[in-house]
Amino acid sequence: MNTSTRLRIAIQKSGRLSKDCQSLLKQLGIKLNLREQRLIAHSTNMPIDVLRVRDDDIPGLVMDGVCDLGIVGENVLVETQAERERVGQPNAVEKLSKLDFGYCRLALAWPQELGQQSKDWFKGKRIATTYPEILKQYLAAENIDASVVMLTGSVEVAPRAGLADAICDLVSTGATLEANGLMQGETILESNACLIQNANLNDDAKLSLINKLLPRLKGVKQAKE
């Protein structure tokens, strides 16, 4: 549990969400002294500390109460929730807001030379992914008996490397799939960045600070529309 009296927010240190997270915090009026190598940045005008970590660690830090809030892609949130459900770890969070950045979709793809394929084609195939839990749930729901190969990176090269027959990976422009000779199939999850809160947060001062920040967040989102 975060026993500090300062509200602790986890964001991605460096990656696709970091710039948008930093500018969102700025737009909310939170002044931060972000030095490149620092794990924790202290706000100079509010009782807030920002923890900068790998995106994969963010849902767990919030679920375990190490951080009060976090900003993370729904893809990582859903995968972590399913993984923790499976192993019996706490996985509840309150989703405070869907944010207007970090959009991507988790989609199936296979070698282009095979042409269009129906869902039945996946039966008995090996599918490489970084999101095994989400993929397994989809396969179970669709009654597809396929094997899941877990890879933490370079998923798009798996078919060419002979590690899998198909992949299930994040796509935004589609350029990566195209560059690797892969054809995009069904989207199994659409994702945006989202703001999450520890489900058991009961510190009045922190809750009242969050209640001050949320209308500002609404204002920032409306201003962009």
Q: b/e for 27-58, b at 16 or more Cβ within 10 A?
A: ebebebeeeeeeeebebeebebbbbbbebebb
Tell me: does residue 6 bind ligand PRT (CB under 6 A). no
Chosen residue from 173, 208, 211, 222 binding ligand PRT by CB under 6 A: 173
Tell me: does residue 79 bind ligand PRT (CB under 6 A). no
Instruction: Select 56 or 203, whichever has its Cβ closest to Zn ion.
Output: 56
The count of residues interacting with Zn ion (CB under 5 A) is 2
**Would residue 15 be called left, alpha or beta, if left means φ above 0 and alpha means ψ between -120 and 50 degrees?**
left
- CA-nearest of 28, 1, 11 to 201 is 1
Chosen residue from 68, 79, 165, 169 binding ligand PRT by CB under 6 A: 169
Chosen residue from 20, 42, 56, 121 binding Zn ion by CB under 5 A: 56
Instruction: Select 46 or 73, whichever has its Cβ closest to ligand PRT.
Output: 73
Tell me: does residue 54 bind ligand PRT (CB under 6 A). yes
Tell me: does residue 191 bind ligand PRT (CB under 6 A). yes
> Which of these segments, 18-26, 52-60, 155-163, 168-176, binds Zn ion (CB under 5 A)?
52-60
| Min CB(123)–Zn ion separation in Å | 30
The tokens for 155 are 């998923």
**CB contact set of 203 (below 8 Å; sequence gap of 6+):** 5, 68
Chosen residue from 8, 17, 55, 128 binding Zn ion by CB under 5 A: 55
Tell me: does residue 83 bind Zn ion (CB under 5 A). no
The count of residues interacting with ligand PRT (CB under 6 A) is 21
3-state secondary structure 75-121: HHHHHHHHHHHHHCCCCCEEEEEECCCCCEEEEEEEEHHHCCCCHHH
At 208 the three-state DSSP class reads helix
Other Cβ atoms less than 10 A from the Cβ of 189: the count is 19
Under 8 Å between Cβ of 78 and 67: no
Distance (Å, whole) CA 59 – CA 88: 15
Instruction: Select 17 or 134, whichever has its Cβ closest to ligand PRT.
Output: 17
Instruction: Select 68 or 79, whichever has its Cβ closest to Zn ion.
Output: 79
- Residues lying near ligand PRT in the complex (CB under 6 A) are found at 12, 15-17, 54-56, 73, 75-76, 102, 104, 169-176, 191
